[in-house]
Amino acid sequence: MVNTCVAVIKSSYLSAVMSNVLYPPRQTPYFSSIPLLTISISIVFVLSFLLLSLSLSMASSSSSRNWLYDVFLSFRGGDVRVTFRSHFLKEFDRKLITAFRDNEIERSHSLWPDLEQAIKDSRIAVVVFSKNYASSSWCLNELLEIVNCNDKIIIPVFYGVDPSQVRYQIGDFGRIFEKTCKRQTEEVKNQWKKALTLVANMLGFDSAKWDDEAKMIEEIANDVLRKLLLTTSKDFDDFVGLEDHIANMSALLDLESKEVKMVGIWGSSGIGKTTIARALFNNLFRHFQVRKFIDRSFAYKSREIHSSANPDDHNMKLHLQESFLSEILRMPNIKIDDPTALEERLKYQKVLIIIDDLDDIMVLDTLVGQTQWFGYGSRIIVVTNDKHFLTAHGIDHIYEVSFPTDVHACQMLCQSAFKQNYAPEGFGDLVVDVVRHACSFPLGLNLLGKYLRGRNEEYWMDILPRLENGLRLDGKIEKILRISYDGLDSEDQEIFRHIACIFIHMKVTTIKSLLAESDVSFALENLADKSLIHVRQGYVVMHRSLQEMGRKIVRIQSIDNPGEREFLVDPNDIHDVLNACTGTQKVLGISLNTRNIVELDVHESAIKGMSNLRFLEIKDFISQWKKALIDVSKIAFDSTEWYNFLIIRHFEINCCFIFVQ
């Protein structure tokens, strides 16, 4: 019932509730008829959006910087320079982590300004507390600078010293610290004490808990690597929720493993898969000897050269591999005459290869056929909207990019419309209303935000009815969505149109029984693989943008004569067809929403011409019966053609479905 309350709330009610939350109430009697539960749910959503937006607006901009170094290492040279530090930096080099080295400072330069700048230019600070760390005012000043930066990820390492001694400045560490402080003012001493206590309270590594120092060093380096993967370049700042995607992908990639792994990124067209892939490449490329991001145009070039060849042409595959090797090895005009040459060139290389927008399994088989083609630790990431390509290639680790939550959808709209993740004063309720009426489709939110950028509040309010009726900004969204649909065979396209017009939110078992003569199971699997539908708890669901696309495909079957279409879903079209008897044998189903219908005139022979009509869906049938005067008794059926009216579903939303056999 909670979901029902959220689903049926009208935008005017939501706007009013938000106005009451955000601003002084002006029309409190307006809310008297709104269920308390509905208001509570709306308030929770609104407050969640506002609180998250506020936190984002106040958050540090650390992920927005392009860092010169991955790590700054703060240490006491006499304690660890030739032991722990040298092994530590060697492990960093092995993992391709860039660390600042103080021996890189030119001898003619003043040391402290360069150290201070290196701290600022480093993403992560690893502070190695050792017995004599506090004997150096340089070390303590480094620590103070690290803490004062406010944008650093800090990892403390307690090397041969008890963390409590550092935390409270006691024991041998405390005595050495007090000796150093004798030459300083009380203010400086207190600043150092606060910095020591702050960092010593952070989660870190204690050498006393490790029997094998090499394993501890490796784990610290892995921790650094994990943290680096969770940060993104400023080039991707406007992609809301990206860090969550990166974190999920990092778990699948498991970069600490020396195995060669292939991982898939799968989801609907326009949902942000390519942005996620490019952000991953941006984060990872420095950690691999060979790296390449391959988009669809790369494969198209080879196809154009061998346009007359069959899809499995040997020469086309060789040309694709030659182009591939030339680019990743940066050696122009490589020529090969044996497909095994690619394996021979790369089997000892640690590679990162991302294949974006894959639409041909031949490309996958030709370029990244098997894991043994590549060196230890290699990672292959394949991006596609067709899950079957991944499973057919044996890729089991698949990350599905889902549609954003309501809160993230609002932030996406704000990012596009206002160039920030939160709404300016006066636009908070309008943002939520627009998202409610539009959809949570990232590409659509981006285009809609650009369309609304610079518009005043009145314009935002005026656009709401147009959104409810299906505002068409341009053809970009539909063009992208059509890619998956156009790739279906005719039978699967037909099932897609059935779902978009009639079967949405219906049980899979019911659809199978209604279309028993078709191979529905196979079609549903194909549609799900291409992210055109989802099956949730046994029900088929479809995103609103895809549903609108499917209905438009049906509508353009006959723009001027609705009776020539497969399905009728628009109440006005249905009225015209039933009143004027213009329905033809092409009509397979009618879905009528009676919510806004006061009276429907049905000719007594309305269905006579629709000899192939099988499905008649009437929504809000019971609750609206008194207002919607649908005289079904007047409809004449030839007993030899029409019989056995069967009500096959009856929902809480008051919808009856009549199956005409």
Domain count, the chain: 5
Cβ pair 308, 385 in contact under 8 A:
no
Q: Of 204, 230, 256, which residue constitutes the final position of a domain?
A: 230
CATH code of the domain containing 391: 3.40.50.300
Mean pLDDT of 412-416: 90
> Stretch 327-342: mean pLDDT, rounded?
84
Q: Which of 133-147, 256-270, 618-632 is the least confident region?
A: 618-632
184, 438, 468, 555 from 474: Cα distances, Å:
67, 14, 16, 18
Could you tell me the pTM of the whole model? 0.63
Closest C-alpha among 501, 589, 539 to residue 493: 501
What would the mean pLDDT of 546-561 be, rounded to a whole number?
A: 91
pLDDT at 473: 52
State which H helix or E strand residue 442 sits in: helix 442-452
Last-in-domain residue among 173, 204, 230: 230
In a domain, 24, yes or no: no
What token pair was written down for 632?
């079904």
- Write down the pLDDT at residue 102: 75
Q: pLDDT-derived band of residue 651, with 50, 70 and 90 as boundaries? A: very low
The Cα–Cα gap between 624 and 629 comes to 9
**For range 531-549, the mean pLDDT:** 86
State whether 224 and 255 are in the same domain: no
For residue 234, what pLDDT is reported?
61
Lowest mean pLDDT among 105-119, 172-186, 561-575: 105-119
Q: Which domain holds residue 533?
A: 475-557
Per-residue pLDDT at 167 exceeds 90:
yes
The confidence band for 171, taking pLDDT boundaries of 50, 70 and 90, is: very high
Residues 547 and 569 reside in one and the same domain: no
CATH number at residue 179: 3.40.50.10140
What's the mean pLDDT when you consider all of the chain? 79
The DSSP call for residue 59 is S
Cβ-in-10-Å burial (0-12, 13-18, 19+) of 485 comes to buried
Residue 389 amino acid letter: F
Does the residue 13 lie in any domain?
Answer: no
- Region of poorest pLDDT, from 221-235, 368-382, 639-653: 639-653
Chain position carrying tokens 């006691």:
170
**What residues contact residue 487 under an 8 Å CB cut-off, 6+ apart?**
359, 386, 530
Look at residues 519, 537, 557 and tell me which one is the last residue of a structural domain: 557
In a shared domain, residues 479 and 506: yes
> Residue 376 corresponds to which amino acid?
Y
Task: List pLDDT tens digits, range 438-488.
Answer: 667 787 788 788 888 999 999 898 888 877 665 555 566 677 778 788 888
- 27 is a domain residue: no
Query: Which of 29-38, 156-165, 413-422 has the weakest average pLDDT?
Result: 29-38
Per residue in 359-391, pLDDT (tens digit) is 888 889 999 999 999 999 999 999 998 999 999
Q: Quick one: pLDDT at residue 37? A: 38
Give 396's pLDDT tier (boundaries 50, 70, 90): very high
CA 298, 299, 300, 303: dihedral to nearest 10 degrees?
A: 140
Mean pLDDT of 19-25: 32
Checking if the pLDDT of 63 tops 60, the result is no
Is the confidence at residue 31, as pLDDT, over 50?
no
Q: How far apart are CA 123 and CA 125, in angstroms?
A: 7
Q: Is residue 26 part of a domain?
A: no
pLDDT at residue 183 tops 90: no
Whether residue 550 is found in the same domain as residue 583:
no
Q: Are residues 463 and 482 in the same domain?
A: no
- The 3-state DSSP composition of the chain as helix, strand, coil percent (nearest 5) reads 50, 10, 35
For residues 306 and 410, membership in a common domain is answered with no
1 pLDDT exceeds 50?
no
CATH code assigned at 500: 1.10.10.10
- pLDDT by residue (tens digit) across 574-584? 989 988 899 99
Active site residues: 142
DSSP string for residues in 177-223: HHHHHTTS-HHHHHHHHHHHHHHHTS--EEGGG-S-HHHHHHHHHHH
